[in-house]
Amino acid sequence: MPEVDLLRSLPRVKRNIQKRAEGKDPTVVAIAKEYGEMYWDGPRAYGYGGYRYDGRWRSVARDIIAHYGLRPGSRVLDVGCGKGFLVKDLMLECPGLEAFGLDISLYALMHCEKEVVGRLHLGSAEKLPFPNRSFDCVLSLNTIHNLPRPRAARAMQEIQRLSDGKAFVQVDSYRTPQEKEIFESWVLTAEFHDYPSGWVKLFQEAGYTGDYYWTIID
């Protein structure tokens, strides 16, 4: 279960932590957790503030393909695929790759990239509607922390079941009390978060043997 930073090539996002903290209230949080239009394409206070395809996942897709030795015909699933940007970029970087996604957000799937129409499934990470070992690689980026701990553990079991450990999961975390404080003023949707050691404990409890890394706001 190695730590590997497969999102290292993403541009660093400048976040206005203070503005988010000031704008956050229970109504904003509840609306964000619907993962509807406001979360994706509404004002920044509710989530992404407008999430459009800009090709930023192509270099990540390249690194994932190289790391897992994926080839034309390999089957990849992105759990929490949103609008399918990574699914699209995996197929652009490796023509012939069979990439699929799953997400709980109907809005995201209804606003996906045209190249991935028919490849994205509506569902929840803790109940993946696919047979055992049906993918050569399962990915889940910045999604599993959106489930409460018991459901997050079930989601990790599901990822293990589909991938037999050929998987990469990235989740929200923090290394210090200062980073935890910054994270807590920023976060809208996470139901479970912890220091890396707490996450590793959850992964072990779930029997997850794949790779992982942390999204840390500093």
Ligand X SMILES: C[S@@+](CC[C@H](N)C(=O)[O-])C[C@H]1O[C@@H](n2cnc3c(N)ncnc32)[C@H](O)[C@@H]1O
- 8 Å CB contact between 137 and 101: no
| By CB under 6 A, residue 147 contacts ligand X | yes
| Token pair belonging to 107 | 């809005």
| 3-state SS class at 211 | strand
| By CB under 6 A, residue 187 contacts ligand X | no
| Token pair belonging to 10 | 């993403």
User: CA-CA distances (angstroms) from residue 136 to 75, 101, 121, 143, 160?
Assistant: 5, 14, 18, 20, 11
In the complex with ligand X, the residue whose CB is nearer, 70 or 141, is: 141
Return the range that interacts with ligand X (CB under 6 A); candidates 17-25, 104-112, 160-168, 197-205: 104-112
Residue 199 beta carbon to ligand X: minimum distance, rounded to whole angstroms: 16
| By CB under 6 A, residue 202 contacts ligand X | no
- 8 Å CB contact between 167 and 133: no
In the complex with ligand X, the residue whose CB is nearer, 29 or 73, is: 29
Count other C-beta atoms under 10 Å from residue 155's C-beta: 25
Residue of 76, 82, 136, 168 interacting with ligand X (CB under 6 A): 82
Cβ neighbours of residue 117 under 8 Å, at least 6 residues apart? Answer: none
Residue 47 beta carbon to ligand X: minimum distance, rounded to whole angstroms: 8
C-alpha–C-alpha distance, residues 148 and 138, integer Å: 21
Residue of 41, 109, 136, 143 interacting with ligand X (CB under 6 A): 143
| By CB under 6 A, residue 125 contacts ligand X | yes
Applying CB under 6 A, the site for ligand X has a residue count of 14
In the complex with ligand X, the residue whose CB is nearer, 25 or 54, is: 54
Binding footprint of ligand X on the chain (CB under 6 A):
35, 80, 82, 103-105, 108, 124-125, 141-143, 146-147
